Amino acid sequence: MVRYAEPGTVEWVESDGGPLVAVPETVLPFWAGADGDDLASDYDRACEIDGTFGLLPVGDRTALVLGDEPAATCYLPEHGTFVRWCAAETEDELLAAVPDALATADWTDDVRWDVPGPVVLFDSAWPGPHTDRADSLRVTLEPGPYAVRSATVRPGPETWLALVQLRALDGPRT
């Protein structure tokens, strides 16, 4: 995990250039990353996601791929949002822009994501069983359906961030 400010402030995950993926812990062993015998590895499938996010099957569940930019990403549980650092002078500047960015964002349409519980965010090139050796972040989510939406916001001339927000839906739990 990368920290740009004081320890404990916000933990950021970075990739080596490919997309980040949030895989449910229950199916983490099934994510092969760039490894694998198939013609298209899990990493290849993640790279095919067109846009800011997408869903991919993993085992009997679904992973959330954060596409578009290989930007440093954190999760802010108070906003239920992955924040992607596209441009800002400092972490404080970027995080200070989040509330206004959330309020003014032009959101994409919602996509439903059924989550069995906590997920692990990491570089999609890594195999799931090896995330303990990779830059990764465990995100605690309650089991159930979520509406996922995204937006790219430029709250200032030198500040640009991408948001991927998860909102719990009422309905049957997975």
Q: pLDDT for 32-53, tens place per residue? A: 999 866 678 999 999 999 999 9
CA distance 148 to 164: 7
Q: What is the pLDDT of residues 72-96, one digit of tens each?
A: 999 999 999 999 999 999 999 999 9
Phi, psi at residue 48, to the nearest 5°?
Answer: -80, -10
Q: CA 122, CA 14: separation in Å to the nearest integer?
A: 8
What is the predicted pLDDT for the residue at 170?
78
* CA separation, residue 81 to residues 29, 50, 55, 75, 98 (Å): 25, 20, 16, 6, 10
This prediction's pTM:
0.90
In the chain, which residues have pLDDT < 50? 1-5, 7, 174
Nearest-angstrom CA–CA distance, 46 and 66: 9
Contacts of 78 (CB under 8 A, 6+ apart): none
- Domain ranges in the chain are 20-168
What DSSP state is assigned to residue 33? Answer: T
User: What does the pLDDT read at residue 153?
Assistant: 95
What is the per-residue pLDDT for 174?
A: 47
pLDDT value of position 130: 86
